[in-house]
Amino acid sequence: MKITEKEVRYVAGLANLTLTDSEIAKQQADLDGILEHMDRLNEVDTSGVEPMAQVLFEAGETATLRADVPVAPLTNQAALANAPQPGAGYFKVPQIIER
């Protein structure tokens, strides 16, 4: 067993996901099989190998920065157009401090 039910519930909390009991059971079974496959990486000798942080690191042309010129931002109205609950020019959310 690579991952316990308790760990599945802990990871779901880290990921901000509400999962039902049946989803927890299914996740545990699926993750267990997948993580077992992932363990094959341990067969590979990676001593002295640099981790790849940028895939074009060794290619000739790599990403560069643009000129730092200000451009017009989205309007407040456009930015809020998709908000589930806009209000007074802001995104409204449920109460943050629990009493």
Partner 1 sequence: MDIPSLTIDGVRQALLSRQFSACELAAAALRFAQAENPKTNAYLHLCPERAMAAALRVDQRIARGEDPGALGGVPIAVKDVIVTKGVKTTCGSRLLAEYIPPYDATAVIRIEEAGGVILGKTNCDEFAMGSSTENSAFGPVRNPVALDRVPGGSSGGSAAVVAQGTAVVALGSDTGGSIRQPASFCGVVGVTPTYGRVSRYGLTAFASSLDHIGPFARSVKDASTVLGVIGGRDPRDSTSAEAPVPDYSAHLTGDVKGLKLGLPIEYLKQLTSETGDLIARGVDRLKALGCQVREISLPATEYAIACYYIIATAEASSNLARYDGVRYTFRSPVSDTLSDMYRNTRGEGFGAECKRRIMLGTYVLSAGYYDAYYLKAQKVRTLIARDFANAFQEVDAIVAPVSPFPAFKLGEKVDDPLAMYLSDIFTITGSLAGIPCMSVPCGNTAEGLPVGMQILTKHFDETTMFRLADGFEKVQRKK
The single residue among 5, 25, 76, 79 that binds partner 1, judged by CB under 8 A, is: 79
Q: Distance (Å, rounded) from C-alpha 32 to C-alpha 43? A: 19
Q: Which two tokens stand for residue 55?
A: 């895939």
1 binds partner 1 (CB under 8 A): no
Q: Which two tokens stand for residue 58?
A: 């060794």
Residue 54 CB, nearest approach to partner 1 (Å) = 8
72 burial (CB, 10 Å; 0-12 / 13-18 / 19+) is: exposed
**Residue ranges that bind partner 1, judged by CB under 8 A:** 3, 7-8, 11-12, 14-19, 23, 26-27, 30-31, 33-35, 37-44, 46, 49-56, 58-67, 74, 78-79, 81-85, 91, 93-96, 98
